[in-house]
Amino acid sequence: MHNKSLKQLSDALQQGKISSVELTRHFLDRIHQHNPDLNAFISVTDELALTQAKAADERLQAKTAGPLTGIPLAHKDIFCTKGVRTSCASKMLDSFIAPYNATVVEKLNDAGMVTLGKTNMDEFAMGSSNETSFYGPVKNPWDTERVPGGSSGGSAAAMAARLAPIATGTDTGGSIRQPSSLCNLTGLKPTYGRISRYGMIAFASSLDQAGPMANSAEDAAWLMNAMSGFDERDSTSVDRDVPDYTATLNDSLNGLTIGLPKEYFGAGLDPQVAQTVESAIKHYESLGATLKEITLPNTSLAIPTYYVVAPAECSSNLSRMDGVRFGHRAEDPKDLMDLYTRSRGEGFGDEVKRRIMIGTYALSAGYYDAYYLKAQQCRRLIRDDFLKAFEDVDVIMGPTAPSPAFRFGEKTDDPVAMYLEDLFTINTNLAGLPGVSIPAGFVNDLPVGLQIIGNYFDEARLLNVAHRYQQETDWHQRTPKAYL
């Protein structure tokens, strides 16, 4: 049951071959069996899940169910879920019970989906390995001595081990795509503004975007249909019609032009990963696509730009964690300043502190022009590179991550080395473009992802391009042996 697609599960539910309660119990049992080893979940919501499953079964019986009704899912612990701990993997929010639902959660609840629990992540989504979580690192089901990627590492590990049929993630600099690459998933970061950020705990507001983490492009399309759309409560949400993402999955790729940025295949890329990705790209020629070398000349500016913009925004967003209204509060503060500084000092982990300090510094008087303004100008240069490229090509392809999953501790002492893990994903966040990572093969038994980047609001085409490849390959169907 845990290896079936959303369509297969939906059909089984609609035809009464299985109830949502049975399906939910199946996944809850798997979570309780495997989570102690993987640490993929921070909270498992058995009671809520079974209540929602019973309600779904009633809708199914009453024939008022939608296509996703009764299907379980896991939410990254960055989405506020009413009455459930929403920790963002931080000690700061360890006791935070969200008083409302994020729009994404509300939409998926309305669709009749069943929340299995909240998945582990890097603290406040800051990290590329899931080693910064207050609740400890998540293990990669493909090799438990290695990281699952971050920051949506818990969702990625839960999916790879088949502890949930679908999961939500968020992507600020690659946090859906990079763990998807390291765990053999299809992870889509939509266009900025496509999915509401309301109730999604903010890290860097101009970059954050929610998206699906799935076993296939088809499954991702199903979730996108339910997640996407305008939200009055998010001032950055885009008021634009949502297409049926499943309707165009089988469109022909004849005449598709694929851009291959030369900057994505140079220094920093593992040669075996390069070979695997090139082989996957080559396959598209047999599907009728044409390959074209392109250049994105300002690619090297992406990481330095990101490490000004994201910390600047995070230093502002996280200022709301002050020990007064919610979250961790220091004991016996001697004055207001002591309350603020000790609550924040005790509540935040090292990586969060580093980024808050970098952001505070970059925004401080005397450095604003040199750092923040300059980064915003570089951001436009990066965006303009993409716009120029899309005059000649339909999609852009390259690697998702520079290497397969690395070992725990390998990069923890060097933040800059860790930051380079998002080398190929970060620039699409700066530009606000959509990107998807799909399974493309293995190197030393570890998954490798192919990244496909599209023009603004071109998610349907990305899923079509991904789906056609998955119709002819079985990389995405492979499961780690211990979790078959």
Residue 350 beta carbon to other proteins: minimum distance, rounded to whole angstroms: 8
5 is catalytic: no
Binding residue for other proteins, selected from 236, 272, 295, 412, defined by CB under 8 A: 236
CB of 17 or CB of 388, closer to other proteins: 388
Interaction with other proteins in 80-119: which residues (CB under 8 A)? 95-97, 99
Active-site residue flag, 76:
yes
Q: Which stretch binds other proteins (CB under 8 A): 3-11, 113-121, 158-166, 319-327?
A: 319-327
**Residue with the two structure tokens 């694929």:** 258
**Cross-strand partners of 97:** 85
Give 283 or 383: the residue with its C-beta nearer to other proteins.
383
Bridge partners for 200 per DSSP: 79
Binding status of residue 431 toward other proteins by CB under 8 A: yes
Under rule CB under 8 A, residue 43 binds other proteins: no
Scored b (16 or more CB within 10 A) or e, 201-236 reads bbbbbbbbbbbbbbbbbbbbbbbbbbbbbebeebee
User: In the window 265-304, what residues touch other proteins (CB under 8 A)?
Assistant: 298, 300-301, 303-304
Q: Identify whether the C-beta of residue 475 lies closer than 8 Å to the C-beta of residue 440.
A: yes
Mark the segment that binds other proteins (CB under 8 A) among 21-29, 53-61, 105-113, 231-239: 231-239
Shorter beta-carbon distance to other proteins: residue 338 or 392: 338
Measure the CA–CA gap between 327 and 306, rounded to whole angstroms.
28
Based on the shown chain and the rule CB under 8 A, indicate whether residue 307 belongs to the binding site for other proteins.
Answer: yes
Q: Which of residues 344-373 bind other proteins (CB under 8 A)?
A: 344-346, 348, 350, 353-354, 356-358, 360-362, 364, 370-371, 373
Site for other proteins in 366-425 (CB under 8 A): 370-371, 373-381, 383, 414-416, 419
Q: Is 201 in the site for other proteins (CB under 8 A)?
A: no
293 or 335: whose CB is closer to other proteins? 335
Q: Is 192 in the site for other proteins (CB under 8 A)?
A: yes
Selected from 54, 283, 329, 478, the binder of other proteins by CB under 8 A is: 329
Number of residues located near other proteins, criterion CB under 8 A: 74
447-476 residues near other proteins, rule: CB under 8 A: 456
- Shortest Å, Cβ 239 to other proteins: 8
Closest CA relative to residue 371, chosen from 300, 414, 313, 298: 313
CB of 358 to other proteins, least distance (A): 6
Active site residues: 76, 151, 175
